[in-house]
Amino acid sequence: MGDGVYLVGVGSFEQHGPHLPFETDTLIAEAVALRVAEKTGGELGTTIGVGLSEEHMDFPGTKTLALDEFEQQIMVVVNAHPKAIFINGHGGNNRALRDLGVRHVNLTSMFKPYDHAGEIETSIIMHLRSDLVSSGKICKHEFRWPDKDGWRMKDYSITGVLGDPTAATADKGRAYLDELVEKTVELISRL
């Protein structure tokens, strides 16, 4: 499977509640891409660490790209590496990757239930980089999926948390990460 496959993590730099780092999506995408490259013999590319995060811009510190800037970054990779597969860790990037028609795996669709700085993401970061988790600031938020277009995260969560990070552990994070890697390997074998 590794024949010329070039794996690129794609994330974001956005708020992840008061307890996780801005680069949470990027760290997860990069970790999955690295492990998939090791398992498949693929080549690991440079992670794209800022994505499309307009819905999080009400939270200070969040960065976003304009759609054309994001698309240009993706196409630079595709033009240099025609067998590129993007490992996407941020839901806000999904549509652009799909619209561009590039090969990609959407990690966020594997999170059940939907999670933003909740149990799954918090557990994975506890496993990968516990030094970046502010454990004393972990708070729970019950998830309600937005029922309108054009939603903003702040409309649904004052803290930016969707889910229950109080249930997170590093051991769960290891298991979640292993599951993401296995599912990703399976998906890219069919691309």
Choose among 113, 107, 139: nearest CA to 20: 139
Q: pLDDT value at position 11?
A: 98
Residue 59 located in a structural domain: yes
29: domain CATH number is: 3.40.50.10310
Residue 183 located in a structural domain: yes
- For residue 10 the two structure tokens come to 């794609």
* Separation in Å, CA 139 to CA 19, 120, 121, 167: 8, 14, 13, 10
- For residue 160 the two structure tokens come to 């930016």
As for how many domains the chain has, the answer is 1
Q: pLDDT value at position 74?
A: 98
| Amino acid (1-letter code) at residue 36 | V
One-character DSSP codes across 20-48: B-TTHHHHHHHHHHHHHHHHHTPEE---B
Strand locations in 59-182 (E):
84-88, 104-106
- For residue 57 the two structure tokens come to 């811009």
Q: pLDDT value at position 101?
A: 94
pTM for this model (two decimals): 0.93
- For residue 126 the two structure tokens come to 């506890």
d(CA 191, CA 181): 15
Residue 160 located in a structural domain: yes
Choose among 125, 140, 88, 130: nearest CA to 110: 88
Residue 170 located in a structural domain: yes
Domain carrying residue 91:
6-188
Residue 1 located in a structural domain: no
**Could you tell me which residues come within 8 angstroms of residue 40 by beta carbon, excluding any fewer than 6 positions away?**
1, 2, 5, 185, 188
- For residue 143 the two structure tokens come to 């998830």
The secondary structure of residue 177, as a DSSP letter, is H
- In a structure prediction context, what are the per-residue pLDDT tens digits for the chain, which is 191 residues long? 556 789 999 999 999 999 999 999 999 999 999 999 999 999 999 999 999 999 999 999 999 999 999 999 999 999 999 999 999 999 999 999 999 999 999 998 888 767 899 999 999 999 999 999 999 999 887 656 666 666 788 778 888 898 899 999 999 999 999 999 999 999 998 87
Residue 145 located in a structural domain: yes
d(CA 86, CA 38): 15
Residue 47 located in a structural domain: yes
